Chain A
Amino acid sequence: MSVRRVLDHRLAVIALVGAIAVALPMWFPSAYYYRIGALVFVYALAALGLNLLMGFAGQVSLGHAGFMGIGAYAVAIVPAQFALPAWLGLLAGAALSGIVALAVGRPILRLKGHYLAVATLGFGLLVAIVFTNETRWTGGPDGMTVARLMLFGRTMSSAQSWYWISAFTFIAAATLALNLVDSPTGRALRAIHDSEIAARVLGVDVAQKKLAIFTVSALYASVAGSFLALLNGHVTPDVCGFLRSIELVAMVVLGGTGSVLGSLVGSAVLVVLPQALTVVHEYETMVLGLVIMGFMILLRHGVVPTLAARAGVRWT
C-alpha cells in the first residue's frame, strides 16, 4: 500500500491526530502548556463544527460563536440557578443550541452568498446582546463564574485533565466528521456545495440537508463552548462575540476549508499566536486582521489542503 492510499484512509487521519495528542505533552515544560493544548483542542472542536458547514456544504456562518455562547452559559447557569451538575448543563446547552439551530436555520439557510453571511452575523450579535443584557441570569458584561465539572466523583479543574478531555472529544468528533465524507449524507452535502441545482434535480432535499448539518455544527460549537467555560471557570459575553465568530472562520479558512486536520492547524495558529504576542499584546488585533486578510487573499485554500495537494493526498 503506497503512502498515499494509507493517508487517504480516514483512520489514518484519526491515528495522526491521536499520535499528535499523545506525543505533544512530552514537550510540555509546564502545566501552562497543557492549558494551551486544551484551548487548541476546544477551539478546534468548534472550528470543526463550522468546517462541516463551510467545507462540506459550502455555506457560511459569521455568527457561529453564538452557539459557543449558548453552550458556555448553559454550563454556568444550570448549576448556579438550578443546582444541577455541570454535565447536565452541557447537555442542556447542546439541546438548546440544537433547537435554536433548527428554528433559525430554516429561514436563514434559504439565503445565499453575502445575504447568508450577514444573516448569520446578525444572529451571532443578537445572541451576544442577549447574554450581555440579561444580567440577572448571566452576570452581564462582567460575566459569571462557572462551577467546576464533577466527573466520577472527581473535580476536573486541572489543565492536564482538560487537555485529555478536549483532545479525546476532538478525536471522537473528527471521527464522526470523517465518517460523513463517504456516506449518503456526505455525498449529498458535497454535491450541494458544488452545484446546488444539480443536487436538487437529483432528488436531494437541499433545505433539509443544510439544516441537518447546520444543527450538527451548532452542537459541536455548543459542546466546545461548554468545555471552554468549564476549563476557564469563568464566562463572559466575549465568548460569543463578533470577534470570536470571525476567529472561528479564520481558523477554518486558514487550516483549510473542508479539512479535519485543517481545523486543528487553524485553531493551533490562532490560539498560539496571541500567546506568542503577549509581549506586544496591543498589536494582537492588528495582527489578527492582517492574518485574516493575508490568508483570504493569498492562501485561500488553507494550509492543509495546499500541502496535501502537493503530496497528492485527497481527503484529510
Chain B
Amino acid sequence: MMILDIQRLSIAFGGVRAVDEVSLSVASGTVFSIIGPNGAGKTSLFNLISGIYPPLDGRVRLGGEDVTGLPPDRLARRGLSRTFQNLQIFFRMTVLENVMVGCHRHERTGILADLLHLPSVGRQNHATRERAQAALECVGLAAEAERSAGALPYGALKRLEIARALTTEPRVLLLDEPAAGCNGVETAEVAAVIRGIVGDGVTVVLVEHDMRLVMNVSDRIHVLANGRTLAEGTAAEVRANPAVVEAYLGVHTAREAMRAQA
C-alpha cells in the first residue's frame, strides 16, 4: 500500500522553480530517502508535503486521501508529522514538556477546564506525562526530562524533535536531516532510532546528506537535482546510476556508500 503518493508537485519562488514536477510513492512501513546536492529542493519538497508551502501544481495523497494544500495542523491530525532541519525546539520549555506538546492532538480538555484546573485536567496531564516519558525513553533522553530544552546539546535536541514528532502517533514521519551536524556515534544512534520507528509500523521519509546513514537504513532512494527527479531505486541501483554519481555522489562518496552497506 502506498501510504504517501506525490504527483507532479511544483513550487516556484520568484520565477525559480524550486520543485519541478516531482512524483514519488512511498510504501507503508518502509524508509524512503530523498537525497541530492544543496539547493536541489529537498527541504522545499518537505515543506510542500507537510503543508507549510501551498503547491503551485500537483497532488499529495496520504493513505489514499487527497491532502493537497492542507495546513500542517490538519495534516498532523491525519497522521503526518515532521522534524526540522534547523531545529524548532520549544527552548523555554523542559524536555518533557516539549514532548508533551506532541500529545496535543489526543488531549481532550478545553480552555475553560484548563483555566479552572478541573480534575479532568489533572488526569489528562498525568496521562500525557506518561506517554511523553515513554517517548523519551525510546530516544534515550529519559534522564533529561526535567531539564530546560535549551540546555541540551545539539545531537540530543535532534532526538528530542523525533520523540516529539512520534508522540503525535503519525502514520508517516518526515525527518529533515536528522543526522546533520552529528558525529559518527550520534549518527549511528539516529539510525537505531529510525529502525525502531519503522519497527513500530511508522513510515519514515528521510532527507539526508550523510550517505552512510542513507544507504544503511533506506528501502528506496529518490535523487533530486535542480528541483527535478534525477533517479529513484534501491540503494544499490542509485549508487550505480552514472547520472547520480556525476551530479551528486562523486566517485569518492560512491565508494563510501558501498562501504556503508557492509
Contact = CB atoms under 8 A, between A and B. Distances in A.
Q: Do A and B come from one complex?
A: yes
Interface of A: 176, 179-180, 182-188, 190-191, 193-195, 197-206, 212-213, 216
Contacts of B97: 187, 190
A193 B101 CA distance: 13
A200 to B, nearest CB: 4
Given A194-B91, A195-B90, A197-B72, A203 B82 contact: no
Nearest to B169: A203
Given A194-B91, A194-B92, A195-B90, A176 B72 contact: no
Contact of B89 (A184, A188, A198, A200): A198
Given A190-B93, A198-B90, A204 B101 contact: yes
B164 interface: yes
A126 to B, nearest CB: 27
Given A176-B115, A202-B76, A203-B105, 19 more contacts: A179-B114, A180-B114, A180-B115, A182-B125, A185-B111, A190-B90, A190-B97, A191-B93, A194-B93, A198-B84, A200-B72, A200-B73, A201-B73, A201-B165, A202-B104, A203-B73, A203-B77, A203-B168, A204-B73
Contacts of B110: 185
The contact size tier of chain B is: 35 or more
B100 interface: yes
Secondary structure at the A interface, as helix, strand, loop or mixed, is helix
7 contacts: A180-B114, A183-B121, A184-B125, A184-B128, A194-B91, A198-B90, A200-B71
Contacts of B125: 182-184
Considering the complex of A and B, which 7 residue pairs feature the smallest CB-CB distances, nearest first? A203-B105, A203-B76, A198-B88, A183-B114, A179-B117, A194-B90, A200-B72
Given A179-B117, A187-B97, A194-B93, A201 B109 contact: no
Interface of B: 50, 52, 71-73, 75-77, 81-82, 84, 88-93, 97, 100-102, 104-105, 107, 109-111, 114-117, 121, 124-125, 128, 164-165, 168
